[in-house]
């Protein structure tokens, strides 16, 4: 009998946001097998997925054609092995901390289609390692410590000038580089900007200063590698309302992508010139629910102040002041906060001021944490500022579909809205 061969095509090494397919041959015709994938992150946390398959009449499997029969995903799901990864320890979230190293995914095929979820799977038939990196060929990673700015700039290969972007994370804080590094792989000069919880920046979300974002924007706009004529700002969650504020109060922003964001300045006052530009939309902590069925996860969805409340209009970002184009991405099952309502409110406000409507992409079954494609869906995870697990929502498969569609539109939206040539890089 020929040995079983397991491989990843078109390449066993690729950038994290690129699709692949897993192929197996040398199985017996119509053989039932289990495909397992395992990834260990930089902290040593293990994430795994598992699904049952049956080979075709020639003993082959191709995940772009063969349906998974059950397990952590089902149906034809070429990337299910990745987006269905689940943490072994509770409330962990797969979040790339060091983009200079790839993730290594160990894939194995074992005999027997009943072993899914059991500790004793069938005998190993074949295995392979698959690497998914974050820095494309020729992309340069440049730490930025200019003035107050704490950031990392990713420059595509070549001289440029490239369309420029500022990338803002959410209440996780720190300096998260994974989205910017992938965006540089699509031809953008992308700067991941920390704004708290990193080096000498404030440790927590006490107050933010518009001047800090202005300094970062000016720095990016003045780089010879960045094309003149307007940059983009991409933000997720808390970073998304800051993106709206940056575009509304500062010149030179042509495009904003709000990922699961609020239309009001959330929680932390935004200061400018020593006074408060926007107070923070607050939370009513007595309305926090503890989801005992989910093991004590906190459900915050009902505890945010309502940005439609007339007394809170001072918190709402005056986006009609911005000259940027807007793209809002919302998960309809966002259980962190009502991002659908927030996007609708932003659209209503633009309309009231006679401005063009924003583009709103709304994804059924998607949760709050909309990441670049193939990041595993995370329904709930530990929040280090809160010190407890929080509910994010979404179901794995629709969330995965949303991430793919959203990413594709983010790239095309930024290409349409920002000046400059863009070229995709290879790993």
Residues near ligand MFK (CB under 6 A) are 43, 90-93, 95, 97, 170-172, 236-238, 300, 336, 381-386
Annotated active-site residue 237? The verdict is yes
Annotated active-site residue 323? The verdict is no
Q: Give rounded-to-5 percent helix, strand, coil for the chain.
A: 20, 30, 50
Residue 89 or 412 having the CB closest to ligand MFK: 89
Closest by CA to 107, choosing from 26, 43, 39, is 39
Please give the Cα distance from 374 to 70 (Å, whole number).
19
Residue 151 or 378 having the CB closest to ligand MFK: 378
Closest by CA to 368, choosing from 207, 258, 266, 270, is 258
Q: How far is the CB of 258 from ligand MFK (least distance, A)?
A: 12
Q: How far is the CB of 121 from ligand MFK (least distance, A)?
A: 26
Q: How far is the CB of 387 from ligand MFK (least distance, A)?
A: 8
Q: In sequence order, what E strands does 332-375 have?
A: 359-363
Q: How far is the CB of 390 from ligand MFK (least distance, A)?
A: 6
Residue 20 or 369 having the CB closest to ligand MFK: 369
Kindly name the residue from 66, 334, 377, 381 that is annotated as catalytic: 334
Annotated active-site residue 334? The verdict is yes
Q: Which 8-state DSSP code applies to residue 158?
A: S
Phi-psi region of 260 (alpha: psi -120 to 50; beta: other; left: phi over 0): left
Name the residue whose CB lies closest to ligand MFK: 170
Nearest-10 Cα torsion for 38, 425, 77, 127: -40
Kindly name the residue from 237, 258, 301, 339 that is annotated as catalytic: 237
Q: Which two tokens stand for residue 55?
A: 């080979």
Please give the Cα distance from 329 to 236 (Å, whole number).
9
Q: How far is the CB of 182 from ligand MFK (least distance, A)?
A: 17
Q: Which two tokens stand for residue 239?
A: 């970073």
224 burial (CB, 10 Å; 0-12 / 13-18 / 19+) is exposed
Among all residues, which ones are annotated catalytic?
A: 237, 334, 368
């Amino acid at each position: 009998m020929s040995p079983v061969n397991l491989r990843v095509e078109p390449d066993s090494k690729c950038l994290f946001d690129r699709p692949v397919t897993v192929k197996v041959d040398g199985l017996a015709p119509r053989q039932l097998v289990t495909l397992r994938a395992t990834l260990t992150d930089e902290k040593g946390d293990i994430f795994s997925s598992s699904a049952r398959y049956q080979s075709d009449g020639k003993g082959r499997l191709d995940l772009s054609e063969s349906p998974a029969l059950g397990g952590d995903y089902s149906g034809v799901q070429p990337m299910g092995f990745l987006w269905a990864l689940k943490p072994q320890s509770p409330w962990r979230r797969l979040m790339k901390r060091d983009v200079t190293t790839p993730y290594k995914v160990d894939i194995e095929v074992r005999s027997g289609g009943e072993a899914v979820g059991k500790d004793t799977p069938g005998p190993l038939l074949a295995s392979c390692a698959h690497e998914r990196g974050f820095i494309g060929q020729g992309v340069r990673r440049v730490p930025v410590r200019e003035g107050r700015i704490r950031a990392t700039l990713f420059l595509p290969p070549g001289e440029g000038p490239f369309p420029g972007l500022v990338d803002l994370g959410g209440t996780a804080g720190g300096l998260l580089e994974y989205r910017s590094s992938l965006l540089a792989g699509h031809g953008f000069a992308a700067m991941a900007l920390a704004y708290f919880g990193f080096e000498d920046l404030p440790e927590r979300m006490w107050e933010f200063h518009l001047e800090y974002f202005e300094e970062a924007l000016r720095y990016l706009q003045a780089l010879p590698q960045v094309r003149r004529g307007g940059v983009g700002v991409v933000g997720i969650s808390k970073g998304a309302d800051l993106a709206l504020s940056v575009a509304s109060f500062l010149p030179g922003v042509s495009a904003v992508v709000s990922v699961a964001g609020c239309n009001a300045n959330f929680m932390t006052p935004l200061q400018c010139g020593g006074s408060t530009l926007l107070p923070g939309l607050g939370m009513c902590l007595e309305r926090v629910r503890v989801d005992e069925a989910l093991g004590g996860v906190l459900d915050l969805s009902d505890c945010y102040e309502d940005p439609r409340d007339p007394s809170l209009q001072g918190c709402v970002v005056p986006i009609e002041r911005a000259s940027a184009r807007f793209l809002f991405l919302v998960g309809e099952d966002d259980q962190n906060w009502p991002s659908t309502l927030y996007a609708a409110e932003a659209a209503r406000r633009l309309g009231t001021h006679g401005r063009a409507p924003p583009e709103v992409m709304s994804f059924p079954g998607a949760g709050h944490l909309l990441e670049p494609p193939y990041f595993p869906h995370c329904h709930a995870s530990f929040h280090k500022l809160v010190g407890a697990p929080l509910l994010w929502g979404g179901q794995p498969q629709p969330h995965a579909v949303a991430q793919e569609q959203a990413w594709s539109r983010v790239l095309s939206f930024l290409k349409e809205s920002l000046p400059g040539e863009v070229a995709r890089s290879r790993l």
